[in-house]
Structure 1
Amino acid sequence: MDSTNKLKDIKEVLNYLYTEFPACFKEKDGIKPLKVGIFKDIAERIDGDERVSKTQVRQALRKYTSNWRYLESVTKNEFRIDLDGNDAEKVEEEHVEHANKALEESRAKLAKRKKAAPRNAGEKKSYKKKGTFADKNNAKGTKFTSSNTNKDKPVRRSNKVEALPSGDIKVNAEVKVKLGQALVKGTITEVNKEDIHVVLVTGMQVKTKAESLFIV
């Protein structure tokens, strides 16, 4: 197939899902929680379609299920749906609680960023003024010492995460799974030698390795 027909980014893959499975995937209105294990169903339906890879579908699903609208749908709907829009299993209370928590954390971070934006802009402007003053003085041979000290610098909080001990890798254990650069909470549902199956709080099911699991 001509490589130009292949989907290039997550946005294109999401549009593909909206078109191929309109009863299941919604861009804005009508979003509902997805059936657990829906990736496998999608993989079977799109088998042979060279426009999109399974890896791209996984990435698109992660983005779709981490969206605010999707998380809100987990808290408001009783059932999950399959690719044809039919009711599947019930949404578990645990997933509702996790979705609510994820929404609270996400909104808190957004509010913090918005609150910090004007202050940061002011600090940046002030710094530029000091830099201009320094340039003028240096041009005259005057030694310039920055007024910024370590105490003026914002303190960064440690976000250190701990790897999950091998003895804690068991069915029903709550964990954090590393997906790309993000850590997503989930519950182990199956341990098959090196392959570990985890249902994420969003309802998505993933297969991973021990080194990608961390303590909640």
Structure 2
Amino acid sequence: MENQPKLNSTKQVIAFLTERFPQCFTAEGEARPLKIGIFQDLVDRVQGEMNLSKTQLRSALRLYTSSSRYLYGIKVGATRVDLDGNTCGLLDKQHVEHASKQLEEAKARMQAQREQQQAKKRKAGEDTAPRRPRKPIRKPAAKGKQPRKVRSKPECPQAERNSSAPREETQTSSSKPVTDTSALQVGQSIKVTAGKSAMDATILEISKDGVRVQLANGLAMIVRAEHLQF
């Protein structure tokens, strides 16, 4: 007895019971309902074999009777068996209902565990997946528009305008205003006043409405006598 190997795990104890009592315990398929009080029968039959203790037998029996295989076998019309496979009466209704409830709870726990494991896998996959750096978002330029260029302003715009503009001759003290158009002649050179300046012109025509002249820039116009000077 002392030299017999010791069974360390509960699953090993169950495997031993299926070999020792094949008409009662099964390793595969639907399990048969066990006799009420079968624990004491086990203690009487196998205590001391394989160095088994009562605690090991109780744990193995609890694990075996809580498995899905065993709970599926607890149904209306099924009969209980003893260690040698002999029938020991039909199942009570309350035992069938209790087993069905345990089976539903076991299914719910298994489903919750599967969902939790899947959530962990998804999270682990997201954590380990390399993240691509985000590229800065650039707004596309409007179609047909070119980048705006800043034009540099001339240093002396006023001076350039003054230098490029044609200079008009200013009125001199020697010029005399025309008081009588009868003294004028066609083709005569004369000055046309505009404000404080005077421009060279040639008389084209003399009429009662005024004197038609042609400026040096080629522009022809009719002016009154008070705007003319010799």
TM range (shorter): 0.5 to 0.7
Aligned twin of 2:10: 10
Aligned twin of 2:106: 106
Describe the SS at the equivalent of 1:88.
strand
Aligned twin of 2:41: 41
* 2:46 partner amino acid: I
Q: Which has the higher contact order (CA 8 A, sep 6+)?
A: 1
Kept after mapping to 1: 8 A contact 2:13/2:60: yes
**Could you tell me how far apart the structure 2 residues matched to 1:97 and 1:117 are?**
30
2:63 pairs with 1:80:
no
2:79 pairs with 1:70:
no
TM-score, normalised with respect to structure 1: 0.54
Relative to structure 1, the CA distance from residue 111 to residue 69 in structure 2 (aligned partners, 3 Å threshold; closer, same or farther) is same
**Could you tell me how far apart the structure 2 residues matched to 1:12 and 1:56 are?**
10
Aligned twin of 1:124: 124
**Unmatched runs of 5 consecutive residues or more in structure 2:** 134-230
- 1:118 Cα deviation after fit: 2.7
- 1:127 Cα deviation after fit: 4.3
- 1:20 Cα deviation after fit: 1.2
Relative to structure 1, the CA distance from residue 121 to residue 35 in structure 2 (aligned partners, 3 Å threshold; closer, same or farther) is same
Which 4+ stretches in 1 moved above 4 angstroms?
Answer: 1-4, 127-130
**Could you tell me how far apart the structure 2 residues matched to 1:72 and 1:125 are?**
37
Aligned twin of 1:97: 97
From the two aligned structures, give the one with the greater helix fraction: 1
State how many pairs are aligned.
132
Deviations along 1:109-166, whole A, 9 cap, x unmatched?
Answer: 2122223333322223444579xx9xxxxxxxxxxxxxxxxxxxxxxxxxxxxxxxxx
Kept after mapping to 2: 8 A contact 1:33/1:77: no
Kept after mapping to 2: 8 A contact 1:74/1:95: yes
Relative to structure 1, the CA distance from residue 92 to residue 76 in structure 2 (aligned partners, 3 Å threshold; closer, same or farther) is closer
2:57 pairs with 1:57:
yes
Q: RMSD across aligned C-alpha pairs, in angstroms?
A: 2.5
